Amino acid sequence: MPRHPNKKRAPGRPRHGTLTRELILKRALGLMDREGFEAITMRRLADHLGVTPMALYNHVRSKKDLFGSIAEYLTTQINFDCDEPDWRDRISTCFRRLRDACLAHPSAVHLMESLEAAPPAVFRPMEITLAALDEIGVTGKDAVRIYFLLMNFTMGQLSYEIRGPFESLDPAQALAGSRLKGAEFAYIQRSVSFAEWDFDSAFDFGLSVILNGAEQISARRTKSRAGRRARTT
Amino acid sequence: MPRHPNKKRAPGRPRHGTLTRELILKRALGLMDREGFEAITMRRLADHLGVTPMALYNHVRSKKDLFGSIAEYLTTQINFDCDEPDWRDRISTCFRRLRDACLAHPSAVHLMESLEAAPPAVFRPMEITLAALDEIGVTGKDAVRIYFLLMNFTMGQLSYEIRGPFESLDPAQALAGSRLKGAEFAYIQRSVSFAEWDFDSAFDFGLSVILNGAEQISARRTKSRAGRRARTT
DNA sequence: ACCTGAACACCGTTCAAGT
DNA sequence: ACCTGAACACCGTTCAAGT
């Protein structure tokens, strides 16, 4: 619904600016949250702001720019930092906060996926992860790999969780009407009931598996260093 | 370019069917591979087939249906099965084949992400994973969690790899013109050079970390079973 | 059954014209 | 500087009309 439904504004610059870049971003995010990512249209957003579609182009270069800016607005609001002494806790809470932010805005993942360049703020989790891993002697390629493992898992599960994959993931539903026989999926059907799936604990499980992997690398490195020391002395 | 550029076809049914559902799917996939996911348009696809846009609707319910069918066509062609004796190898090659298929069709990941329901064939990796894990005593919730870890990691890294994230992931480029200072990303800048990043080995690394996690659970379970046995006897 | 042509209700974006 | 209105080049899809 437009803000001025009855009194139509005449052309020309209004006395006080009705539009701001920030207002546009906020309203766009709100519209996205309520009506979904696909619903965001320059025309619909303009309508929502009580304004002509073209008015948006005074504050935003293009739709791509708009989406990029929303993502930046969203990610810069996340506080990734915390002062836990344990390196595992620092990494965990960092990705948990990212996850929480994305769950709070159901279209956030879809939005991120649509971007060609990630907003700069998402480098914070990377920096925090690399710093924490450095503490236990995991550096270089291995550290970056652990980071990607964490990031890809986090975003991947979010993607599943948000679009409610379990209407389509429930084998009973997904297999219905397909050429594949249900008999070929014996283990799936015998597995845990999808109705009682808990994404939160699955996420914590995933984090701990990956961080255990980091710890193993750490142990291996210190051992091989000790081995080298023993040989040289 | 249309197939009949000069001799325009008159309305009415042609003597031999020019269009098939399969032909449409194949050409759409080809067009997607060459010109990208966004380039796929009912009108452009029709043009490519030398046909009116509406002709497609005789073989395809909608654009959504078209995309779903392409995904199904693509995934059913993947051979996930192999007869390696080692459970780790069976899981690894299964996901490696999924990965190879997606890398062969650069828009495949984008296509999958756009679907509301995954094509049934992607349940094969789940079945194979659950079966292999069952062999080492990892079942139920834990097994499904391991599967999701593998699947989310695989698709997540593919997503990064395909859209060539490293123009935007290179901190030097991504941080340029942003409000975030480069000094806040000391560990990133000190980390491995993005130019020499190897996705293939990063993928193998990820798989082995996750499968190590599965092995740890297996060991923990057999130990606790042994403990229970010792206490009861 | 299978194709065309016209039409409908949308898109993002440019451009000239207003104040 | 900031908004409007008309226009352009696109979309997906429906529907009647052809054979």
Model confidence pLDDT, tens digit, residues A93-117: 999 999 999 999 999 999 999 998 8
Token pair, residue A120, equals: 């700069």
Q: What does chain A come to in residues?
A: 233
Greatest Cα pair distance, chain A, in angstroms, is: 88
Give the Cα separation of B194 and A220 in Å (integer).
Answer: 25
Chain B: give the shortest CA distance to residue A209, in Å. 5
Nucleotide nearest to A11 (CA to C1'): D4
Those residues with Cβ within 8 angstroms of residue B165's Cβ, 6 or more apart along the chain or in another chain: A118
* CA-based nearest residue in chain B for residue A212: B213
pLDDT band at residue B155 using 50, 70 and 90 as cut-offs: very high
Q: What is the DSSP string of B183-203?
A: GGGHHHHHS--GGG--HHHHH
Q: Are B94 and B51 in contact (CB under 8 A)?
A: no
CB contact under 8 A, A139 and B212: no
The answer to whether the C-beta of B216 is closer than 7 A to strand C is no
For residue A169, give the nearest of B118, B175, B191 by CB distance: B118
**Closest C-alpha among B76, B75, B89, B102 to residue B129:** B89
B55 touches chain A (CB under 8 A): no
CB contact under 8 A, B168 and A118: yes
pLDDT of residue A4: 36
The answer to whether the C-beta of B23 is closer than 7 A to strand C is no
**Closest C-alpha among B97, B152, B141 to residue A165:** B152
Side-chain-side CA neighbours of residue B77 (13 Å): 12
Instruction: List pLDDT tens digits, range B52-68.
Output: 999 999 999 999 999 99
Candidates B124, B139, B166, B192: best to mutate against A (most CBs of A within 10 A) is B192
DSSP letter at A3?
S
Instruction: List pLDDT tens digits, range A119-172.
Output: 989 999 999 999 999 999 999 999 999 999 999 999 999 998 987 755 555 555
Q: What is the rounded end-to-end Cα distance, in angstroms, of chain A? A: 79
- Answering whether pTM is above 0.85, one says yes
DSSP letter at A54?
G
The answer to whether the C-beta of A185 is closer than 7 A to strand C is no
Those residues with Cβ within 8 angstroms of residue A116's Cβ, 6 or more apart along the chain or in another chain: A64, B163, B168
Q: Is B147 helix (H, G, I), strand (E, B) or coil?
A: helix
Candidates A188, A190, A204, A207: best to mutate against B (most CBs of B within 10 A) is A188
Give the Cα separation of B135 and B205 in Å (integer).
Answer: 22
- Residue B80 with chain A: CB contacts under 8 Å: none
